[in-house]
Chain A
């Protein structure tokens, strides 16, 4: 009985023990879900079709696309002026403006003015606070 519970850990492969255990457990739980919810899983195509049909595509996909472009541009722009945080500053202003326009329902002059004011003031203020006062690294 003692031998059944004895375990010898090889230090060189000790990084795999827990991940393998967790992977096996995850697989078993996944299998249990597959068996229990098989009807729902087989019908999930309809759910995804409905999700895509009812989705506000311009806002959802626009948010994703703008964010990807924002992240992609920040570092190359920042590399033009290294260690200044200008990449964050220069990319954030148009990002906040375009995203704000995308999220806005009625584009009245008052709402546009408020949004533009925040978009033009907030990023420089945040950049100044974190880059110049707190000396944090920004892209």
Chain B
């Protein structure tokens, strides 16, 4: 079957349309993610055949990543981990009555980010894969170290921000030193009596849902559940009207963010929220008005959404060329290939040209479906914000329970993790600790450990982190630049605050 045949195949097109819509809904409901959408639909793909099942799963992936922007902007709760940074500026825009404008900006940015990554995937996949394959444990650790230094740039108080990030790493190490990743299978940091529950550590998704879902509801309950915004707040008015002129001067930001997302996606294991965080930081540090970021700056929304959708194409590169998933969602795609009896690896693209082309077409169409449906039906998605809180919040808590309970196929401790980290998030706000660095540390901590220990096991010398390769040297330069940039931002902020103090 050639490309044209796919384009007129109603099954293929129907699965892309349905998958994208369902993905958007999964991403838009706080507590549900693109990963979960793919996980839920994976068993359904068995009778579909490889091309059609990939069309469905890739559409769910694209839709799910994009859908996360809706609650991120309207409720300040990231629907997916990769839309954390969308809340920073999208939510302040929504709070001042520009919800619809912020959503449309995010949608267009998402599509551009997705298309940038798709072009990179199609034309540069073999070259990029060759580059990524050169990364040993040392370079992978340095890449994560680089991402962690970004924590400092994201923090309003550098010391508290770094402390929060290191605390996130510390908590991510609770449990077993995973034998499947080369660890010795021994446990650590588990309080006595908790061995049964914490053997596998705290699951990432319940931690995220707890901190971003339950914490928000607890904070609202603490201040008496103030009345929500009405439909009037999201009506198209002079203050909320979307115009493409907002992208004037932002094309570099769009392309750069899509490129960063693609690059981060290519690096196995680094994916996820690091893409949007790095894009956001790049936009903030190169902006003429970095002080506007975090207060409702459209450039922040553009960077975050172009970055996280850039991930979609990038994360497929290591999967299709090396058989290594770029993130948790693409890890599930390996299941789809396994269901069809296909092994992904270096030979996949050459031996499965038809499937490869169909995947590209599916992702392209999925981006277009997402643009059209969300751009013109955004009023319906935006109505989430006008639902009364006495209806919305109990419903969200119920959905959070489903998300936490089902992600590991029925573990009640994951549901308790929701509440533990919901309360922990509330406590963090009281202690002025920073949530974003904490989450980044929590996500990247286990990988950092594996790569660090394996580097030392392999080379037995600390200097290897500096001398391994020219890539390591470049990464150290980037790390130094990131730290210097963070210090410069911190000092500039301090100078800006002191005159008014």
Contacts and interface: CB of A to CB of B under 8 A. Distances in A.
**Co-complex (A, B):** yes
B244 interface: no
B348 interface: no
Contact of A7 (B167, B187, B225, B461): B461
B383 interface: no
B390 interface: yes
B189 A55 contact: no
Interface in A89-139: 92, 95-96, 99-105, 111, 114-115, 118-119, 122-123, 126, 130, 134-139
Contacts of A17: 453, 456
Interface string B446-483: 00110011001100111100000000000000000000
A130 B176 CA distance: 31
Contact of A60 (B222, B405, B448): B222
A88 B456 contact: no
Contacts of A88: 401-402, 405
Interface residues of A, number: 64
A139 B170 CA distance: 31
Interface in B395-446: 395, 397-399, 401-402, 405-406, 409-410, 412, 415-416, 419, 423, 430, 445
B335 to A, nearest CB: 15
Contacts of A55: 222
- Interface majority SS on A: helix, strand, loop or mixed? helix
B159 interface: yes
Contact of A100 (B189, B217, B218, B394): B394
Contacts of A60: 218, 221-222
Given A92-B398, A99-B394, A130-B406, A71 B222 contact: no
Nearest to B165: A29
Given A67-B419, A137-B405, A11 B184 contact: yes
Contacts of A25: 166
A22 B395 contact: no
B391 A118 contact: yes
Interface in B198-248: 214, 217-218, 221-225, 227
A9 B395 contact: no
Contacts of B227: 105
Contacts of B419: 64, 67-68, 71
Contacts of A114: 388, 391
B40 A119 contact: no
A16 B174 CA distance: 11
B410 A33 contact: no
Contact of B402 (A16, A47, A130): A130
A77 interface: no
B6 interface: no
Interface in B378-395: 388-391, 393-395
A59 interface: yes
A139 B412 CA distance: 8
Interface string B269-290: 0000000000000000000000
A56 B223 CA distance: 6
Nearest to A44: B431
A59 B452 contact: no
Nearest to B399: A126
B401 to A, nearest CB: 7
Given A19-B189, A47-B430, A56-B222, A103 B393 contact: yes
Contacts of B162: 29
Contacts of B167: 26
A126 B398 contact: yes
Contacts of A70: 401
B159 A71 contact: no
A16 B186 CA distance: 9
Contacts of B159: 29, 32-33, 36
A92 B398 CA distance: 7
A14 B391 contact: no
Contacts of B390: 99-104, 111, 115
Interface string A1-35: 00001111101101111110011011001101100
A40 B223 CA distance: 23
A14 B166 contact: no
B463 to A, nearest CB: 5
A103 B221 contact: yes
Given A56-B222, A71-B416, A122-B395, A18 B406 contact: no
Closest A-B pairs by Cβ, 3 of them: A15-B177, A137-B410, A56-B224
Given A11-B184, A18-B452, A136-B40, 9 more contacts: A9-B456, A14-B457, A15-B184, A15-B186, A15-B188, A19-B173, A59-B221, A103-B221, A118-B391
10 contacts: A26-B163, A29-B162, A30-B163, A55-B222, A56-B222, A56-B225, A99-B397, A111-B388, A137-B410, A138-B405
Interface of B: 40-41, 43, 159-160, 162-163, 166-167, 169-170, 173, 177, 183-184, 186-189, 214, 217-218, 221-225, 227, 388-391, 393-395, 397-399, 401-402, 405-406, 409-410, 412, 415-416, 419, 423, 430, 445, 448-449, 452-453, 456-457, 460-463
